[in-house]
Structure 1
Protein backbone atom coordinates (compact mmCIF):
# COMPACT_ATOMS: atom_id res chain seq x y z
CA UNK A 1 0.00 0.00 0.00
CA UNK A 2 1.37 3.39 -0.97
CA UNK A 3 1.37 6.39 1.35
CA UNK A 4 0.89 10.07 0.51
CA UNK A 5 3.80 12.38 1.26
CA UNK A 6 3.13 15.90 2.56
CA UNK A 7 5.83 18.44 3.42
CA UNK A 8 5.46 21.17 6.01
CA UNK A 9 6.49 21.98 9.56
CA UNK A 10 5.90 20.69 13.08
CA UNK A 11 4.65 23.11 15.69
CA UNK A 12 4.57 22.61 19.45
CA UNK A 13 3.61 26.06 20.78
CA UNK A 14 0.14 26.20 22.39
CA UNK A 15 -0.31 22.47 21.73
CA UNK A 16 -0.14 19.40 24.01
CA UNK A 17 2.25 17.01 22.26
CA UNK A 18 2.92 13.63 23.80
CA UNK A 19 4.97 10.64 22.74
CA UNK A 20 2.75 9.78 19.77
CA UNK A 21 0.94 13.04 18.94
CA UNK A 22 2.23 16.26 17.39
CA UNK A 23 0.86 19.19 15.37
CA UNK A 24 1.74 19.55 11.67
CA UNK A 25 1.20 22.45 9.24
CA UNK A 26 1.59 21.54 5.54
CA UNK A 27 3.23 24.00 3.18
CA UNK A 28 -0.01 23.70 1.22
CA UNK A 29 -2.99 22.57 3.34
CA UNK A 30 -4.80 21.60 0.16
CA UNK A 31 -2.87 18.33 0.20
CA UNK A 32 -4.95 17.16 3.18
CA UNK A 33 -7.54 16.35 0.53
CA UNK A 34 -5.17 13.73 -0.91
CA UNK A 35 -5.11 11.72 2.32
CA UNK A 36 -6.89 8.43 1.47
CA UNK A 37 -9.71 6.77 3.40
CA UNK A 38 -13.21 7.68 4.50
CA UNK A 39 -12.17 9.81 7.50
CA UNK A 40 -11.20 13.35 6.62
CA UNK A 41 -8.45 15.20 8.48
CA UNK A 42 -9.73 17.93 10.82
CA UNK A 43 -7.80 21.19 10.35
CA UNK A 44 -7.46 24.32 12.42
CA UNK A 45 -7.93 27.86 11.13
CA UNK A 46 -4.36 27.88 9.76
CA UNK A 47 -4.65 24.57 7.92
CA UNK A 48 -2.69 22.56 10.50
CA UNK A 49 -3.78 19.26 11.99
CA UNK A 50 -3.02 16.85 14.79
CA UNK A 51 -0.97 13.79 13.84
CA UNK A 52 -1.21 10.38 15.46
CA UNK A 53 2.06 8.57 14.93
CA UNK A 54 1.44 5.34 13.07
CA UNK A 55 2.25 1.92 14.59
CA UNK A 56 3.19 3.14 18.08
CA UNK A 57 1.39 3.99 21.32
CA UNK A 58 3.02 6.16 24.00
CA UNK A 59 2.12 6.35 27.67
CA UNK A 60 -0.70 8.86 28.18
CA UNK A 61 0.15 12.29 29.59
CA UNK A 62 -3.36 13.79 29.42
CA UNK A 63 -6.12 11.29 28.65
CA UNK A 64 -9.65 12.70 29.00
CA UNK A 65 -11.96 9.71 28.67
CA UNK A 66 -14.64 9.35 31.34
CA UNK A 67 -14.67 11.94 34.10
CA UNK A 68 -14.05 15.66 34.52
CA UNK A 69 -10.25 15.59 34.70
CA UNK A 70 -7.37 14.37 32.59
CA UNK A 71 -5.77 11.09 33.59
CA UNK A 72 -2.18 10.14 32.93
CA UNK A 73 0.08 7.15 33.14
CA UNK A 74 3.18 7.29 35.38
CA UNK A 75 4.86 10.45 34.13
CA UNK A 76 8.28 9.58 35.48
CA UNK A 77 8.25 6.01 34.13
CA UNK A 78 8.13 6.79 30.42
CA UNK A 79 5.26 9.19 29.63
CA UNK A 80 7.39 12.34 29.66
CA UNK A 81 10.46 10.56 28.31
CA UNK A 82 8.67 9.62 25.06
CA UNK A 83 7.27 13.13 24.63
CA UNK A 84 10.62 14.78 25.29
CA UNK A 85 12.46 12.45 22.89
CA UNK A 86 9.88 13.10 20.15
CA UNK A 87 10.27 16.88 20.44
CA UNK A 88 14.06 16.66 20.70
CA UNK A 89 14.32 14.38 17.64
CA UNK A 90 12.20 16.77 15.60
CA UNK A 91 14.49 19.65 16.55
CA UNK A 92 12.75 21.49 19.39
CA UNK A 93 14.80 22.68 22.37
CA UNK A 94 14.04 24.73 25.49
CA UNK A 95 10.46 23.45 25.52
CA UNK A 96 8.42 24.86 28.41
CA UNK A 97 5.06 23.36 29.38
CA UNK A 98 2.48 24.42 31.93
CA UNK A 99 0.73 22.25 34.51
CA UNK A 100 -1.80 21.10 31.89
CA UNK A 101 0.96 19.88 29.51
CA UNK A 102 0.46 22.80 27.09
CA UNK A 103 3.65 24.16 25.46
CA UNK A 104 4.15 27.82 26.35
CA UNK A 105 7.58 28.29 24.74
CA UNK A 106 9.96 26.42 22.43
CA UNK A 107 13.05 27.00 20.32
CA UNK A 108 12.36 27.23 17.44
CA UNK A 109 8.59 27.67 17.17
CA UNK A 110 8.46 25.39 14.09
CA UNK A 111 10.74 22.80 12.47
CA UNK A 112 10.57 21.53 8.87
CA UNK A 113 9.65 17.97 8.03
CA UNK A 114 7.37 15.64 6.14
CA UNK A 115 4.79 12.96 6.80
CA UNK A 116 3.85 9.72 5.07
CA UNK A 117 0.20 8.88 5.59
CA UNK A 118 -2.31 6.24 4.60
CA UNK A 119 -5.38 7.83 6.21
CA UNK A 120 -7.01 9.43 9.24
CA UNK A 121 -8.45 7.83 12.37
CA UNK A 122 -12.00 8.05 13.75
CA UNK A 123 -11.00 11.19 15.68
CA UNK A 124 -9.99 12.77 12.35
CA UNK A 125 -6.30 12.87 13.22
CA UNK A 126 -3.91 12.12 10.39
CA UNK A 127 -2.16 8.80 11.04
CA UNK A 128 1.40 9.19 9.83
CA UNK A 129 5.02 8.18 9.73
CA UNK A 130 6.88 11.32 10.80
CA UNK A 131 10.14 12.46 9.21
CA UNK A 132 12.31 15.51 9.71
CA UNK A 133 14.12 17.73 7.21
CA UNK A 134 13.87 16.93 3.51
CA UNK A 135 11.64 14.09 2.24
CA UNK A 136 13.03 10.89 0.65
CA UNK A 137 14.55 11.07 -2.81
CA UNK A 138 12.67 9.57 -5.75
CA UNK A 139 13.12 9.33 -9.50
CA UNK A 140 16.15 9.22 -11.79
CA UNK A 141 18.13 11.33 -11.14
CA UNK A 142 16.98 11.20 -7.50
CA UNK A 143 15.44 14.32 -6.00
CA UNK A 144 13.25 14.98 -2.94
CA UNK A 145 9.65 13.90 -3.43
CA UNK A 146 7.00 16.62 -3.46
CA UNK A 147 3.73 16.86 -1.58
CA UNK A 148 1.04 14.65 -3.05
CA UNK A 149 3.53 12.04 -4.25
CA UNK A 150 2.49 8.46 -3.46
CA UNK A 151 5.33 6.35 -2.15
CA UNK A 152 5.71 2.64 -1.56
CA UNK A 153 7.45 3.14 1.76
CA UNK A 154 10.58 1.03 2.19
CA UNK A 155 12.14 -0.19 5.42
CA UNK A 156 14.98 2.31 4.86
CA UNK A 157 12.41 5.12 4.69
CA UNK A 158 10.76 3.79 7.84
CA UNK A 159 14.11 3.93 9.66
CA UNK A 160 14.27 7.67 8.94
CA UNK A 161 11.11 8.33 10.97
CA UNK A 162 10.62 9.11 14.64
CA UNK A 163 8.10 6.27 14.81
CA UNK A 164 10.91 3.74 14.37
CA UNK A 165 13.30 5.77 16.52
CA UNK A 166 11.00 5.84 19.56
CA UNK A 167 10.21 2.13 19.21
CA UNK A 168 13.90 1.24 18.92
CA UNK A 169 14.60 3.04 22.22
CA UNK A 170 11.76 1.19 23.94
CA UNK A 171 9.99 4.46 24.80
CA UNK A 172 6.69 3.40 23.17
CA UNK A 173 4.67 0.26 22.57
CA UNK A 174 4.01 -1.21 19.12
CA UNK A 175 0.34 -0.95 18.16
CA UNK A 176 -0.50 -2.00 14.62
CA UNK A 177 -3.51 -1.30 12.41
CA UNK A 178 -4.46 -3.02 9.19
CA UNK A 179 -3.42 -0.14 6.94
CA UNK A 180 0.24 -0.60 7.84
CA UNK A 181 2.13 -2.45 5.07
CA UNK A 182 3.28 -5.95 6.00
CA UNK A 183 6.99 -5.27 5.39
CA UNK A 184 6.95 -2.27 7.73
CA UNK A 185 5.00 -4.15 10.41
CA UNK A 186 7.50 -7.02 10.30
CA UNK A 187 10.41 -4.64 10.78
CA UNK A 188 8.67 -2.77 13.60
CA UNK A 189 7.80 -6.05 15.31
CA UNK A 190 11.45 -7.08 15.30
CA UNK A 191 12.45 -3.61 16.53
CA UNK A 192 9.99 -3.78 19.43
CA UNK A 193 11.08 -7.26 20.40
CA UNK A 194 14.73 -6.19 20.44
CA UNK A 195 13.85 -3.21 22.66
CA UNK A 196 11.86 -5.46 24.99
CA UNK A 197 14.81 -7.84 25.31
CA UNK A 198 17.26 -4.97 25.91
CA UNK A 199 14.99 -3.46 28.60
CA UNK A 200 17.07 -0.28 28.63
CA UNK A 201 16.80 2.02 31.67
CA UNK A 202 14.00 4.51 31.07
CA UNK A 203 12.20 2.31 28.57
CA UNK A 204 8.60 1.22 29.07
CA UNK A 205 9.79 -2.39 29.09
CA UNK A 206 11.76 -1.83 32.28
CA UNK A 207 8.50 -1.55 34.26
CA UNK A 208 5.92 -3.04 31.88
CA UNK A 209 3.18 -5.10 33.53
CA UNK A 210 0.96 -5.63 30.47
CA UNK A 211 1.48 -9.38 30.23
CA UNK A 212 2.98 -10.11 33.67
CA UNK A 213 0.00 -8.64 35.51
CA UNK A 214 -0.97 -5.43 37.31
CA UNK A 215 -2.74 -5.51 40.67
CA UNK A 216 -5.39 -2.76 40.77
CA UNK A 217 -6.22 -1.33 44.18
CA UNK A 218 -7.33 2.18 43.21
CA UNK A 219 -7.23 4.67 40.35
CA UNK A 220 -3.74 5.64 41.52
CA UNK A 221 -2.58 2.11 40.75
CA UNK A 222 -2.91 2.77 37.03
CA UNK A 223 -2.12 6.49 36.96
CA UNK A 224 0.87 6.58 39.30
CA UNK A 225 2.31 3.10 39.74
CA UNK A 226 1.73 0.65 36.89
CA UNK A 227 3.16 0.83 33.36
CA UNK A 228 0.98 -0.92 30.80
CA UNK A 229 -0.10 -0.77 27.18
CA UNK A 230 -1.88 2.60 26.73
CA UNK A 231 -4.82 1.04 24.90
CA UNK A 232 -5.47 -1.19 27.93
CA UNK A 233 -4.88 1.77 30.27
CA UNK A 234 -7.55 3.85 28.53
CA UNK A 235 -10.14 1.10 28.85
CA UNK A 236 -9.12 0.39 32.44
CA UNK A 237 -9.11 3.98 33.69
CA UNK A 238 -12.61 4.52 32.25
CA UNK A 239 -13.82 1.34 33.96
CA UNK A 240 -12.36 2.28 37.35
CA UNK A 241 -13.82 5.78 37.16
CA UNK A 242 -17.25 4.35 36.40
CA UNK A 243 -17.35 1.25 38.60
CA UNK A 244 -14.44 1.38 41.03
CA UNK A 245 -11.34 -0.82 41.28
CA UNK A 246 -13.08 -4.19 41.61
CA UNK A 247 -12.33 -5.85 38.26
CA UNK A 248 -15.05 -8.51 38.42
CA UNK A 249 -17.01 -6.82 35.61
CA UNK A 250 -14.07 -5.64 33.52
CA UNK A 251 -14.35 -8.35 30.85
CA UNK A 252 -18.01 -7.53 30.00
CA UNK A 253 -17.00 -3.86 29.95
CA UNK A 254 -14.22 -4.60 27.45
CA UNK A 255 -16.70 -6.56 25.33
CA UNK A 256 -18.73 -3.40 24.98
CA UNK A 257 -15.71 -1.45 23.78
CA UNK A 258 -15.84 -3.04 20.36
CA UNK A 259 -12.10 -3.15 19.63
CA UNK A 260 -11.65 -5.30 16.52
CA UNK A 261 -8.44 -7.14 15.75
CA UNK A 262 -6.98 -10.25 14.21
CA UNK A 263 -4.18 -12.53 15.39
CA UNK A 264 -1.75 -14.54 13.22
CA UNK A 265 -3.77 -17.77 13.46
CA UNK A 266 -7.13 -16.03 12.85
CA UNK A 267 -7.27 -13.45 10.10
CA UNK A 268 -11.01 -13.75 9.41
CA UNK A 269 -13.44 -12.92 10.86
CA UNK A 270 -11.97 -10.29 13.21
CA UNK A 271 -12.09 -10.85 16.95
CA UNK A 272 -14.29 -8.28 18.69
CA UNK A 273 -13.36 -7.06 22.17
CA UNK A 274 -10.18 -7.04 24.24
CA UNK A 275 -11.81 -9.46 26.69
CA UNK A 276 -10.54 -12.24 24.40
CA UNK A 277 -6.92 -11.38 25.23
CA UNK A 278 -7.30 -10.10 28.82
CA UNK A 279 -7.31 -12.20 31.98
CA UNK A 280 -8.41 -11.29 35.52
CA UNK A 281 -7.13 -13.28 38.51
CA UNK A 282 -8.77 -13.55 41.91
CA UNK A 283 -6.22 -11.11 43.33
CA UNK A 284 -7.77 -8.32 41.23
CA UNK A 285 -4.85 -8.46 38.82
CA UNK A 286 -5.24 -7.79 35.11
CA UNK A 287 -2.97 -8.97 32.31
CA UNK A 288 -2.99 -9.40 28.56
CA UNK A 289 -2.51 -12.99 27.46
CA UNK A 290 -0.74 -12.11 24.20
CA UNK A 291 2.04 -9.68 23.33
CA UNK A 292 0.66 -6.55 21.71
CA UNK A 293 2.56 -7.08 18.44
CA UNK A 294 0.41 -10.18 17.81
CA UNK A 295 -2.72 -8.02 17.48
CA UNK A 296 -3.61 -6.27 14.23
CA UNK A 297 -6.37 -3.75 14.90
CA UNK A 298 -9.11 -2.58 12.55
CA UNK A 299 -9.22 1.19 12.05
CA UNK A 300 -12.89 2.14 12.25
Structure 2
Protein backbone atom coordinates (compact mmCIF):
# COMPACT_ATOMS: atom_id res chain seq x y z
CA UNK A 1 0.00 0.00 0.00
CA UNK A 2 1.53 3.35 -1.01
CA UNK A 3 1.87 6.40 1.21
CA UNK A 4 0.35 9.81 0.56
CA UNK A 5 2.67 12.82 0.36
CA UNK A 6 1.04 15.92 1.83
CA UNK A 7 2.64 19.36 1.75
CA UNK A 8 2.03 22.08 4.30
CA UNK A 9 3.45 24.08 7.19
CA UNK A 10 4.45 23.32 10.78
CA UNK A 11 3.14 25.37 13.70
CA UNK A 12 3.86 25.67 17.43
CA UNK A 13 2.43 29.03 18.53
CA UNK A 14 -0.25 28.56 21.21
CA UNK A 15 0.53 24.84 21.32
CA UNK A 16 2.54 22.50 23.53
CA UNK A 17 4.83 20.59 21.17
CA UNK A 18 7.13 17.82 22.29
CA UNK A 19 9.69 15.60 20.64
CA UNK A 20 7.26 13.41 18.73
CA UNK A 21 4.21 15.57 18.11
CA UNK A 22 3.66 18.82 16.25
CA UNK A 23 0.82 20.70 14.54
CA UNK A 24 0.61 20.62 10.76
CA UNK A 25 -1.36 22.83 8.38
CA UNK A 26 -1.82 21.03 5.06
CA UNK A 27 -1.95 23.16 1.94
CA UNK A 28 -4.96 21.07 0.94
CA UNK A 29 -6.98 19.59 3.81
CA UNK A 30 -8.74 17.20 1.44
CA UNK A 31 -5.62 15.06 1.20
CA UNK A 32 -5.69 14.50 4.96
CA UNK A 33 -9.43 13.97 5.06
CA UNK A 34 -9.18 11.26 2.39
CA UNK A 35 -6.76 9.14 4.43
CA UNK A 36 -8.12 5.83 5.75
CA UNK A 37 -8.74 5.32 9.45
CA UNK A 38 -10.30 7.73 11.90
CA UNK A 39 -11.59 11.21 11.20
CA UNK A 40 -8.83 13.85 11.35
CA UNK A 41 -9.24 16.41 14.12
CA UNK A 42 -8.68 19.82 12.55
CA UNK A 43 -9.02 22.89 14.73
CA UNK A 44 -10.37 26.29 13.69
CA UNK A 45 -6.98 27.17 12.17
CA UNK A 46 -7.03 24.07 9.94
CA UNK A 47 -4.16 22.63 11.96
CA UNK A 48 -4.03 18.94 12.79
CA UNK A 49 -1.79 17.28 15.36
CA UNK A 50 0.58 14.68 13.97
CA UNK A 51 1.64 11.42 15.56
CA UNK A 52 5.12 10.64 14.38
CA UNK A 53 5.48 7.11 13.07
CA UNK A 54 7.78 4.62 14.83
CA UNK A 55 9.21 6.93 17.51
CA UNK A 56 8.39 7.85 21.09
CA UNK A 57 10.25 10.59 22.94
CA UNK A 58 10.42 11.31 26.65
CA UNK A 59 7.21 12.81 28.01
CA UNK A 60 7.19 16.54 28.74
CA UNK A 61 3.59 16.84 29.96
CA UNK A 62 1.76 13.55 30.44
CA UNK A 63 -1.66 13.45 32.08
CA UNK A 64 -2.87 9.92 32.92
CA UNK A 65 -6.37 9.25 31.56
CA UNK A 66 -7.52 8.58 35.12
CA UNK A 67 -6.20 11.96 36.24
CA UNK A 68 -3.82 12.73 39.07
CA UNK A 69 -1.83 15.60 37.63
CA UNK A 70 0.68 16.34 34.89
CA UNK A 71 3.93 14.40 34.82
CA UNK A 72 7.11 14.35 32.81
CA UNK A 73 10.22 12.30 32.32
CA UNK A 74 13.72 13.78 32.88
CA UNK A 75 13.31 17.16 31.27
CA UNK A 76 16.83 17.82 30.05
CA UNK A 77 16.61 15.01 27.50
CA UNK A 78 12.89 15.49 26.89
CA UNK A 79 13.44 19.13 25.97
CA UNK A 80 16.43 18.24 23.82
CA UNK A 81 14.18 15.99 21.76
CA UNK A 82 11.61 18.74 21.41
CA UNK A 83 14.25 21.29 20.42
CA UNK A 84 15.58 18.83 17.87
CA UNK A 85 12.17 18.50 16.19
CA UNK A 86 11.60 22.25 16.06
CA UNK A 87 15.07 22.81 14.66
CA UNK A 88 14.56 20.09 12.05
CA UNK A 89 11.43 21.74 10.64
CA UNK A 90 13.06 25.18 10.75
CA UNK A 91 11.13 26.77 13.62
CA UNK A 92 13.16 29.41 15.46
CA UNK A 93 12.86 32.16 18.09
CA UNK A 94 10.62 30.05 20.31
CA UNK A 95 9.35 31.72 23.49
CA UNK A 96 7.38 29.87 26.16
CA UNK A 97 4.98 30.89 28.88
CA UNK A 98 6.28 31.04 32.45
CA UNK A 99 5.44 27.37 33.03
CA UNK A 100 7.31 26.32 29.87
CA UNK A 101 4.19 24.54 28.72
CA UNK A 102 2.77 26.63 25.87
CA UNK A 103 4.62 28.44 23.09
CA UNK A 104 3.61 32.10 23.09
CA UNK A 105 5.78 33.27 20.22
CA UNK A 106 7.82 31.64 17.45
CA UNK A 107 8.96 32.01 13.89
CA UNK A 108 6.83 29.10 12.73
CA UNK A 109 4.64 28.29 9.75
CA UNK A 110 7.70 26.72 8.16
CA UNK A 111 7.27 24.63 5.00
CA UNK A 112 7.57 20.88 4.89
CA UNK A 113 5.65 17.75 4.13
CA UNK A 114 4.50 14.51 5.66
CA UNK A 115 4.36 11.00 4.28
CA UNK A 116 1.44 9.10 5.76
CA UNK A 117 -0.94 6.20 5.19
CA UNK A 118 -3.63 6.59 7.83
CA UNK A 119 -5.34 8.49 10.63
CA UNK A 120 -5.17 6.84 14.05
CA UNK A 121 -8.03 6.60 16.51
CA UNK A 122 -7.28 9.97 18.14
CA UNK A 123 -7.64 11.78 14.82
CA UNK A 124 -3.92 12.27 14.18
CA UNK A 125 -2.19 11.40 10.89
CA UNK A 126 0.53 8.81 11.52
CA UNK A 127 3.38 10.50 9.73
CA UNK A 128 6.97 10.61 8.69
CA UNK A 129 8.01 14.26 8.85
CA UNK A 130 10.22 16.03 6.31
CA UNK A 131 11.46 19.61 6.11
CA UNK A 132 11.40 21.79 3.02
CA UNK A 133 9.95 20.97 -0.38
CA UNK A 134 10.14 17.99 -2.70
CA UNK A 135 9.82 17.65 -6.44
CA UNK A 136 6.60 15.69 -6.28
CA UNK A 137 2.96 16.71 -6.50
CA UNK A 138 1.02 17.48 -3.35
CA UNK A 139 -1.22 14.52 -2.57
CA UNK A 140 0.83 12.11 -4.65
CA UNK A 141 0.82 8.40 -3.87
CA UNK A 142 4.40 7.31 -3.32
CA UNK A 143 6.41 4.34 -2.18
CA UNK A 144 8.66 5.42 0.68
CA UNK A 145 12.16 4.14 -0.03
CA UNK A 146 14.72 3.50 2.67
CA UNK A 147 16.87 6.27 1.16
CA UNK A 148 14.00 8.75 1.44
CA UNK A 149 13.24 7.52 4.96
CA UNK A 150 16.72 8.52 6.12
CA UNK A 151 15.83 12.15 5.39
CA UNK A 152 12.88 12.07 7.79
CA UNK A 153 12.91 13.48 11.29
CA UNK A 154 11.75 10.07 12.52
CA UNK A 155 14.96 8.43 11.35
CA UNK A 156 17.17 11.29 12.50
CA UNK A 157 15.61 11.34 15.99
CA UNK A 158 16.47 7.66 16.41
CA UNK A 159 19.95 8.13 14.97
CA UNK A 160 20.75 11.02 17.31
CA UNK A 161 19.41 9.18 20.34
CA UNK A 162 16.48 11.49 21.04
CA UNK A 163 13.74 8.87 20.63
CA UNK A 164 12.87 5.29 21.47
CA UNK A 165 11.67 3.05 18.66
CA UNK A 166 8.03 2.15 19.20
CA UNK A 167 6.59 0.10 16.39
CA UNK A 168 2.98 -0.69 15.57
CA UNK A 169 1.42 -3.10 13.13
CA UNK A 170 1.50 -1.91 9.54
CA UNK A 171 5.06 -0.56 9.44
CA UNK A 172 6.80 -2.22 6.51
CA UNK A 173 9.68 -4.58 7.23
CA UNK A 174 12.29 -2.72 5.15
CA UNK A 175 11.42 0.59 6.81
CA UNK A 176 11.56 -0.96 10.26
CA UNK A 177 14.94 -2.55 9.56
CA UNK A 178 16.31 0.79 8.35
CA UNK A 179 15.05 2.49 11.50
CA UNK A 180 16.68 -0.27 13.54
CA UNK A 181 20.02 0.57 11.95
CA UNK A 182 19.69 4.06 13.41
CA UNK A 183 18.67 2.69 16.81
CA UNK A 184 21.58 0.27 17.02
CA UNK A 185 24.11 2.91 16.00
CA UNK A 186 22.78 5.37 18.57
CA UNK A 187 22.82 2.71 21.29
CA UNK A 188 26.31 1.54 20.38
CA UNK A 189 27.57 5.14 20.53
CA UNK A 190 25.58 5.83 23.74
CA UNK A 191 24.05 8.94 22.22
CA UNK A 192 21.80 11.09 24.38
CA UNK A 193 19.14 8.92 26.10
CA UNK A 194 21.11 5.73 25.39
CA UNK A 195 23.77 6.92 27.82
CA UNK A 196 21.26 6.74 30.67
CA UNK A 197 18.42 4.49 29.49
CA UNK A 198 17.38 1.97 32.15
CA UNK A 199 14.50 0.23 30.35
CA UNK A 200 16.44 -2.98 29.75
CA UNK A 201 18.78 -2.83 32.75
CA UNK A 202 16.02 -2.13 35.26
CA UNK A 203 14.87 0.59 37.65
CA UNK A 204 13.81 0.82 41.26
CA UNK A 205 10.46 2.59 40.93
CA UNK A 206 10.38 3.43 44.61
CA UNK A 207 8.59 6.74 44.02
CA UNK A 208 7.19 8.90 41.26
CA UNK A 209 10.29 11.06 41.56
CA UNK A 210 12.40 8.10 40.51
CA UNK A 211 10.63 7.76 37.15
CA UNK A 212 9.89 11.44 36.50
CA UNK A 213 13.27 12.90 37.43
CA UNK A 214 15.89 10.23 38.04
CA UNK A 215 15.77 7.58 35.29
CA UNK A 216 14.89 7.33 31.61
CA UNK A 217 12.73 4.46 30.43
CA UNK A 218 10.70 3.68 27.34
CA UNK A 219 7.83 6.22 27.35
CA UNK A 220 5.19 3.55 26.76
CA UNK A 221 6.35 1.77 29.90
CA UNK A 222 6.57 5.10 31.74
CA UNK A 223 2.96 5.98 30.92
CA UNK A 224 1.62 2.66 32.20
CA UNK A 225 3.79 2.74 35.32
CA UNK A 226 3.10 6.39 36.08
CA UNK A 227 -0.65 5.90 35.96
CA UNK A 228 -0.43 2.82 38.16
CA UNK A 229 1.73 4.62 40.75
CA UNK A 230 -0.56 7.66 40.77
CA UNK A 231 -3.48 5.41 41.65
CA UNK A 232 -1.79 3.03 44.09
CA UNK A 233 1.08 5.09 45.49
CA UNK A 234 3.53 2.28 44.76
CA UNK A 235 4.93 0.24 41.89
CA UNK A 236 4.36 -3.03 43.73
CA UNK A 237 1.78 -5.09 41.86
CA UNK A 238 2.27 -3.25 38.56
CA UNK A 239 3.02 -6.36 36.50
CA UNK A 240 -0.14 -8.11 37.73
CA UNK A 241 -2.30 -5.10 36.90
CA UNK A 242 -0.74 -4.74 33.47
CA UNK A 243 -1.44 -8.42 32.85
CA UNK A 244 -5.15 -7.76 33.34
CA UNK A 245 -5.19 -5.33 30.41
CA UNK A 246 -3.85 -8.01 28.03
CA UNK A 247 -2.17 -5.46 25.79
CA UNK A 248 -1.30 -7.40 22.61
CA UNK A 249 2.22 -7.35 21.21
CA UNK A 250 4.26 -9.31 18.67
CA UNK A 251 7.59 -10.53 20.02
CA UNK A 252 10.05 -10.39 17.13
CA UNK A 253 12.59 -12.53 19.00
CA UNK A 254 10.37 -15.61 19.05
CA UNK A 255 7.83 -14.51 16.41
CA UNK A 256 5.11 -14.98 18.97
CA UNK A 257 1.94 -13.03 19.71
CA UNK A 258 1.62 -12.37 23.42
CA UNK A 259 0.99 -9.47 25.83
CA UNK A 260 3.11 -6.55 27.00
CA UNK A 261 3.29 -7.78 30.60
CA UNK A 262 5.10 -10.93 29.38
CA UNK A 263 8.25 -8.85 29.10
CA UNK A 264 7.93 -7.00 32.40
CA UNK A 265 10.20 -8.51 35.03
CA UNK A 266 9.05 -7.72 38.56
CA UNK A 267 9.17 -9.87 41.66
CA UNK A 268 6.24 -9.89 44.10
CA UNK A 269 6.49 -7.18 46.75
CA UNK A 270 9.23 -5.47 44.74
CA UNK A 271 9.36 -2.07 43.05
CA UNK A 272 12.24 -3.14 40.80
CA UNK A 273 11.09 -3.34 37.18
CA UNK A 274 12.71 -3.95 33.83
CA UNK A 275 11.71 -4.75 30.26
CA UNK A 276 13.25 -8.02 29.08
CA UNK A 277 13.12 -7.04 25.41
CA UNK A 278 14.64 -4.05 23.67
CA UNK A 279 11.91 -1.72 22.38
CA UNK A 280 12.69 -2.46 18.73
CA UNK A 281 12.04 -6.17 19.38
CA UNK A 282 8.33 -5.53 19.95
CA UNK A 283 5.48 -4.60 17.62
CA UNK A 284 2.39 -3.23 19.33
CA UNK A 285 -1.21 -3.48 18.23
CA UNK A 286 -2.80 -0.02 17.82
CA UNK A 287 -6.11 -1.51 19.04
CA UNK A 288 -8.32 0.96 17.14
CA UNK A 289 -11.55 -0.33 18.70
CA UNK A 290 -10.27 -0.41 22.27
CA UNK A 291 -11.41 2.37 24.64
CA UNK A 292 -8.75 5.00 25.28
CA UNK A 293 -8.86 4.59 29.05
CA UNK A 294 -8.90 0.79 29.26
CA UNK A 295 -5.88 0.59 31.57
CA UNK A 296 -7.30 3.45 33.65
CA UNK A 297 -10.54 1.55 34.17
CA UNK A 298 -8.58 -1.37 35.58
CA UNK A 299 -7.64 0.82 38.54
CA UNK A 300 -11.24 0.38 39.69
CA UNK A 301 -11.03 -2.52 42.17
CA UNK A 302 -14.40 -3.98 41.19
CA UNK A 303 -13.71 -4.30 37.49
CA UNK A 304 -10.08 -5.24 38.10
CA UNK A 305 -11.13 -8.30 40.06
CA UNK A 306 -13.72 -9.20 37.43
CA UNK A 307 -11.24 -8.99 34.58
CA UNK A 308 -8.68 -11.00 36.49
CA UNK A 309 -11.13 -13.91 36.38
CA UNK A 310 -12.19 -13.33 32.76
CA UNK A 311 -10.42 -14.52 29.63
CA UNK A 312 -10.67 -11.45 27.42
CA UNK A 313 -8.13 -12.66 24.85
CA UNK A 314 -6.50 -9.31 24.22
CA UNK A 315 -9.64 -7.16 24.21
CA UNK A 316 -11.79 -5.77 26.95
CA UNK A 317 -15.46 -6.58 26.29
CA UNK A 318 -17.57 -3.49 25.84
CA UNK A 319 -20.47 -4.73 27.96
CA UNK A 320 -18.13 -5.26 30.92
CA UNK A 321 -16.66 -1.77 30.66
CA UNK A 322 -19.65 0.27 29.54
CA UNK A 323 -20.79 1.40 32.97
CA UNK A 324 -17.26 2.32 33.98
CA UNK A 325 -16.53 4.26 30.80
CA UNK A 326 -19.70 6.34 31.01
TM exceeding 0.5: yes
Name the residue aligned to 2:203: 214
Task: Go from structure 1 to structure 2 and tell me whether the alpha carbon gap of 1:246 and 1:161 turns closer, same or farther (over 3 Å shift).
Answer: closer
Name the residue aligned to 2:10: 10
Contact 2:74 2:213 in 1 (8 A): yes
Gaps of 5+ in 2: 288-326
Contact 2:167 2:280 in 1 (8 A): yes
Contact 1:34 1:148 in 2 (8 A): no
Q: 1:251 aligns with which of 239, 256, 271?
A: 239
Using the TM superposition, give the Cα deviation of residue 241 of structure 1 relative to its aligned residue in structure 2, in angstroms: 0.3
CA-based RMSD: 1.5
Name the residue aligned to 1:139: none
Taking structure 1 as the reference length, the TM-score comes to: 0.91
Residue pairs, 1:130-145, within 5 angstroms: 130-135=129-134, 144-145=135-136
Structure 1 CA distance for aligned equivalents of residues 226 and 19 of structure 2: 19
Name the residue aligned to 1:141: none
Q: Are residue 279 (structure 1) and residue 265 (structure 2) matched?
A: yes
Q: Are residue 165 (structure 1) and residue 156 (structure 2) matched?
A: yes
Task: Go from structure 1 to structure 2 and tell me whether the alpha carbon gap of 1:147 and 1:258 turns closer, same or farther (over 3 Å shift).
Answer: farther
Using the TM superposition, give the Cα deviation of residue 96 of structure 1 relative to its aligned residue in structure 2, in angstroms: 1.2
Using the TM superposition, give the Cα deviation of residue 41 of structure 1 relative to its aligned residue in structure 2, in angstroms: 1.6
Name the residue aligned to 2:30: 30
Greater relative CO, 1 or 2 (CA 8 Å, sep 6+): 1
Contact 2:19 2:58 in 1 (8 A): yes
Structure 2 CA distance for aligned equivalents of residues 218 and 158 of structure 1: 39
**Residue correspondences, number:** 284
Name the residue aligned to 1:234: 223
Task: Go from structure 1 to structure 2 and tell me whether the alpha carbon gap of 1:265 and 1:89 turns closer, same or farther (over 3 Å shift).
Answer: closer
Structure 1 CA distance for aligned equivalents of residues 200 and 8 of structure 2: 39
Larger strand percent? 1
